[in-house]
Structure 1
Amino acid sequence: MTNNKLFRAVSATLAASLAVAALAPAAVAAPAMMDKKWENKPQMPKQQEKTMQLTLLQMGDIHGHLIPRAHLRSDGNGAQWGGLAYMYSKIQELRAKNPNTLLFNTGDTIQGSAEALYTKGQALVDVLDHFGIVGFAPGNWDYLYGAERFVELFGNGRWGGVAANVYYDPAVYPDKAGQTVLPPYRILNLNGLKIGLMGLSTERITLAPGPFATAGFIATSEGEEVPGIVDTLRNQEKVDLVIMVSEFGLAKNVQFGEKYAGIDVILSSDMHEETSREPVVTRNGTIVTEVGQDGTRLGQIDLDIRNGKIANWKYTFHTIDSSKIKPHPKIAALIKQKRREFVAGRGFKAHINPFNGMVLKTPIDTVVGKAEVPLYRANFSDENMPGAVEGTSHDFIADAFRDQAGADIGHMRGFRYGTHVAPGDIKLEDLYHYIAIGPQVAKTTITGQMLKDDLENNADGSFNPDTFKWTGGWQQALSGVKYDLDLYASKGNRVQNVQILNRTTGQWEALDAAKSYTYAGYWYDQAPKKVGALISSNPVTPVKGAKGEVLDGTAVVVNYLKTHTANPEQNRIRLLNPLPAPVYGNPEIQPLQGVSTAY
């Protein structure tokens, strides 16, 4: 069923079936009203002007990072950034300055680390439950552990979760057809100020890591629900402010702010972009912000509210630099407790991988190899190896998969999450920040044409000027492959001069569309024909251990590091033209308006 058909099918029953939190007792208007713009109805003159200084704090895209990590991009100096104990100290500092402070989490929280994976998110939840989060937009990776687990964690109103576009799949839950999994909105009351909080999750919930993991949920993809809910909040709930927490990513959220009047603030996640200099302000006056990844940044919007309206505002972008902020003792102690069973010491215990059944028997702070170059993927669009195109971390992992599978080509998906690893020791937990979703690694056989088509689709899905055609993530990483990329060329002609390394001769050869090549990448028992990005009709061979045991993707890389260092060849993708310049006053990683065909 297409998204539009799905939306029409559920809209008739949406108002009656949505479970709105106790803070929002009024019914939600059906999205059939979505074409109606909100309007402020005249109110009785007020005898005295009511003012409030309101502070909104935004965290997002934590991706399982409990402790600090190095920051190796050009805007850092290699210092340790992030860490939830340090972030909480900053949050409490800002709360002390203004008691009218609200904290929001904009998604992708309970995935991205060993602690998250092996506890199905519980380690992160137990820490963040102390933060006083009042609004949460679940990210696609927050649905990773399945429908039942998601409801168990967030179906109780935890963190004020809202998601207007995620529904129960009637094929799995016929008794819940048309119902959203979380409330589409909530009402927050703060000292007489009435705030409407609405939320969206990206439509890519079924891609993390695959539909098998989130069976039972479906999501619409165009934000069809937004105008109807804004209308409800403005004209029925009579709120003073509308805040949207959205995991649709900065590029799309800016478009929502441009298209739909009535949203005061959109707190955005998913793309890991940073509105580090200034928010994006749309033609409707909507303030849109995004705060990077891994808990390294915290956004602050100070609003001067007069008679329920924003009179003035100020934006501050904080770096969570552990050399300048002291960790909060209570949160630091809790994190230490949560990590105790994962790190070396008397408290360590084995854990079972929920996706592949492999048993974790090695403390995650064990050194498993050496990096000769910085490993990360986050460069801005005007720098060498822009993050949207390539990164050393992904190249290194693709090399490991290719080597350990004995394949012609190694593939690593173009995910945005990860971490930064400085030259020197690589710990097992670093690998889990890159390979956090329980894949195995397998080899199959593909044709040259399959590879070329996939690379073209990947480029279109990462840089299409219609951002609603993006498929999520960035360019995938490949080992044993290099090519030229002309993003200004027409679709089907962007990937040029593809070369394949001949494993026998050590020579680079032009890709032969008719030739067969062995290809290695992520693999799951639950999707046995899919290897990496491709579905193969040929036999699939998982990489096994010395005794035939199941190996998690991290274990495959550990085995590679026993005989290699992490020193990947760089610039495997040669950009023939620079990426477009940033459009909203902030450095960009992925061009926020895509790349238009020039010829």
Structure 2
Amino acid sequence: MTPPPVEPPVTTPPTTPPVEPPATPPPAEPPVDPPTTPPTTPPPVEPPAGTVIRLIHLNDLHAHLTPHVEQIRDAAGTLQNVTMGGLARIATRINQLRAQQPNSLLMNIGDTYHGGVEAMFTIGNAIIAPVDALGIDIGVPGNWDFAFSPQVTTDRYNPSLSAPIPNPVGTVLGPNFPNLAGNVTVDRLRGGSQPLLPATAMFNVAGVQVGFIGITSDIVPQMSPLLALRMNFLTARADYLALINDNAQQLRNAGAQIVVVMSELGIHKDLDLANDITPGAVDAVFSAHTHEATFTMLTSNSGTVVVEAGNDTYLGYMDFEIANGAVINKNWMLEAIDDSIAQDPTVLSLVNAARADFLGAGINIALPSGFAGFMLTESIDTIVGTTQIPLRRRQALENTFNNSMTDVMRQFANTDLAMVPGFRFDSIVTAQGAIEDNMVVNGDITLEDLYRFYPVPFYISAGQVSGQVLTDTIEQNLNAVFSTTAFEQWGGWFNGYSGLDLVVDLAAPSGMRIQSMSLSANGMAINPTDMLSIAGCTRPVDQESATTLCSYPGFVNVAPLTNPATGESMTPVDMIRYGLDNGTFNTTIRNNIVDQNSTLMWPNDNVYQPLTGVQ
């Protein structure tokens, strides 16, 4: 069911010259191109008292097209593995919510076109058509949407800023809905800079002016400076407060009765900012990036509420009741996208079409970037092994997948230690003999599962590290995950390690969280001057590859390992398959990190990562 017409958005950049809207392929029912100047007067007609405006919140799709296993807690607090998500089911529920409340707008916030094999081998192009079919009204890119390269980013979101040469990875498709990002500018090739995307947009829905402020991720330069080439991201907390307050005031002056922020900064930073923005400026902040499922609105000192809708396995919506030109009530709901929801046939057809090239016989797909060793030659539903333990990344400090991955890396490389990045994205694989969807499962691992854990082109490498550099790396990582200063947090969760016994106090001050550190093999304490061998990862975009491991500097003699089956550099997917074939992957559950503070986190608390840090 199609919602009634909504006046198209008016978009404006933050105190910078107007930006020409990005060129995008036309949707089946294209919206009117948004003008580039805001309205100068409030709407002349006051909406009826008690008008309700619904904002639907989808975040962090991570290119998940199909249903997949999610870990939840039931009413009794018991952990269960159930199948959730799927774009066709999401579409059905969106249509139902619009039918219930025609005065609705759909937001898509955070990582969308990156994640999984279909996105990795098509630079996100395979995800465009199914997502476009949802009828999204407004969006904000996520940090991983910048990960294909700066030129892919500009080609996708604002082609006028791209270099006037063909993109070496081919044609890049863009979304059919407007996106916002007020915290990024791009250096023009002939001097000066301009916003990557507008900062704000305004919609008129049933006579109510709804203003949006969009903020994308601030961590792209930390992911890799090459991914942020020519781009300038706001970093200071004060700058973000000014961005929100200034744009909120502009929207209010232009007649907005509802003002919301869509943010990919993560719920920790968003809640921190909400505490200090001007009271009454913003009605709600809709978060993404941190994958937290907030079933109850978080309140802030300013009165602004903050919510996040988990990931693709949930859909949130907030109803705003308007009277006398102001919001008088807000109601938030977060719903699971489960198998009780039918699949929308139109979107399901687009999903099947997007996946067709990755299923069946005769597959031979190269990575568009051309990086060596990354070829897909098998159907992604190929079963590559089974698991005796649950594989997941859902614990922020230590989890079963990262432990299994680092164990096989350390064994293969014959090193003292191994480490992997603390990514949030995954695809939960239920252990053999365990219950999934109320049925006993056989623990099959598919090739598609492996690319869900590693939809990134990097190589397994080995080198050496001193005890001091290892200490500094771990302390930096712990602070980035658990700091009480929100703007010191960045990245995902804590890195995974093998061969390391670690005792920490997460409530200790920055730089002092490690209480002891020793080798698992012999219990020997690690001293600052010790030199240890370590396996990890390097990326084709690492500028100092001989001294960088898993994006951290200070290592020495780092070099990719060779896959004995192909003679090429070992990829993460190759590494897992080696371990499965040799019985060295996912063999036992272990816990080698002890937190003396006994910090509550999922699954013993409602959040993966404490919302205000650990103190």
Fold shared per TM-score above 0.5: yes
Aligned residue in 2 for 1:417: 425
Aligned residue in 1 for 2:73: 74
Match of 2:393 among 377, 389, 408: 377
Match of 1:137 among 99, 118, 140: 140
1:544 partner amino acid: T
Check conservation: 1:342, 1:363, Cα contact below 8 A: yes
| Cα deviations by residue, 1:224-262 (Å, 9 ceiling, x for unpaired) | 422211121112x22221121100111111222222131
| Cα deviations by residue, 1:399-418 (Å, 9 ceiling, x for unpaired) | 23222323221111112222
Cα 1:580/1:361, change in 2 over 3 Å: closer
Q: How many residues align?
A: 548
Match of 2:262 among 241, 245, 253: 245
In the aligned structure 2, how far is the partner of 1:96 from the partner of 1:161? Answer: 24
Aligned residue in 1 for 2:359: 343
Aligned residue in 1 for 2:244: 226
- Deviation of the 1:492 alpha carbon: 2.9
Aligned residue in 2 for 1:275: 294
Query: Does the residue aligned with 1:161 lie in a helix, a strand or coil?
Result: coil
Aligned residue in 2 for 1:459: 478
Cα 1:563/1:74, change in 2 over 3 Å: farther
Check conservation: 2:180, 2:200, Cα contact below 8 A: yes
Check conservation: 2:457, 2:540, Cα contact below 8 A: no
1:26 partner amino acid: T
Cα 1:176/1:106, change in 2 over 3 Å: farther
Query: Does the residue aligned with 2:449 lie in a helix, a strand or coil?
Result: helix
- Deviation of the 1:335 alpha carbon: 1.0
Match of 2:322 among 291, 294, 305: 305
2:537 partner amino acid: Y
Alignment of 1:460-479 (within 5 A): 460-479=479-498
Alignment of 1:377-456 (within 5 A): 377-378=393-394, 387-423=395-431, 424-456=443-475
1:54 partner amino acid: I
**Which consecutive residues of structure 2, in runs of 5 or more, have no partner in the other structure?**
1-12, 22-32, 159-173, 432-442
- TM-score, normalization by structure 2: 0.84
Query: Does the residue aligned with 1:71 lie in a helix, a strand or coil?
Result: strand
| Identity fraction in percent | 26
| Cα deviations by residue, 1:205-228 (Å, 9 ceiling, x for unpaired) | 2234x2223322221123142221
Aligned residue in 2 for 1:187: 202
Cα 1:174/1:568, change in 2 over 3 Å: farther
Query: Does the residue aligned with 2:380 lie in a helix, a strand or coil?
Result: coil
| Cα deviations by residue, 1:65-100 (Å, 9 ceiling, x for unpaired) | 111111234345221011111111111111111211
In the aligned structure 2, how far is the partner of 1:47 from the partner of 1:265? Answer: 22
Query: Does the residue aligned with 1:534 lie in a helix, a strand or coil?
Result: coil
In the aligned structure 2, how far is the partner of 1:554 from the partner of 1:213? Answer: 23
- Deviation of the 1:20 alpha carbon: 6.4
In the aligned structure 1, how far is the partner of 2:587 from the partner of 2:320? Answer: 48
Check conservation: 1:355, 1:437, Cα contact below 8 A: no
Check conservation: 2:43, 2:255, Cα contact below 8 A: no
- Deviation of the 1:24 alpha carbon: 5.1
Cα 1:87/1:509, change in 2 over 3 Å: same
Query: Does the residue aligned with 1:266 lie in a helix, a strand or coil?
Result: strand
In the aligned structure 1, how far is the partner of 2:130 from the partner of 2:45? Answer: 44
Check conservation: 1:63, 1:112, Cα contact below 8 A: yes
In the aligned structure 2, how far is the partner of 1:218 from the partner of 1:101? Answer: 33
Query: Does the residue aligned with 1:338 lie in a helix, a strand or coil?
Result: helix
Match of 1:486 among 505, 518, 530: 505
Check conservation: 1:24, 1:186, Cα contact below 8 A: no
Check conservation: 1:443, 1:518, Cα contact below 8 A: yes
Cα 1:559/1:304, change in 2 over 3 Å: same
Check conservation: 2:62, 2:116, Cα contact below 8 A: yes
In the aligned structure 1, how far is the partner of 2:370 from the partner of 2:111? Answer: 19
Are 2:166 and 1:166 aligned? no
Check conservation: 1:14, 1:178, Cα contact below 8 A: no
- Deviation of the 1:306 alpha carbon: 2.2
2:320 partner amino acid: L
Aligned residue in 1 for 2:598: 578
Are 2:548 and 1:550 aligned? no
Are 2:222 and 1:207 aligned? yes
Query: Does the residue aligned with 2:259 lie in a helix, a strand or coil?
Result: strand
Query: Does the residue aligned with 1:26 lie in a helix, a strand or coil?
Result: coil
RMSD, aligned CA: 2.5
Cα 1:164/1:591, change in 2 over 3 Å: same
Are 2:132 and 1:112 aligned? no
Alignment of 1:319-334 (within 5 A): 319-322=336-339, 324-334=340-350
Query: Does the residue aligned with 2:425 lie in a helix, a strand or coil?
Result: coil
Aligned residue in 2 for 1:33: none
Check conservation: 1:356, 1:552, Cα contact below 8 A: no
Aligned residue in 2 for 1:125: 128
- Deviation of the 1:199 alpha carbon: 0.5
**Which consecutive residues of structure 1, in runs of 5 or more, have no partner in the other structure?**
1-12, 30-40, 379-386
- Which range moves more in the overlay, 544-553 or 136-145? 544-553
Check conservation: 1:355, 1:439, Cα contact below 8 A: no
1:487 partner amino acid: L
In the aligned structure 1, how far is the partner of 2:517 from the partner of 2:210? Answer: 53
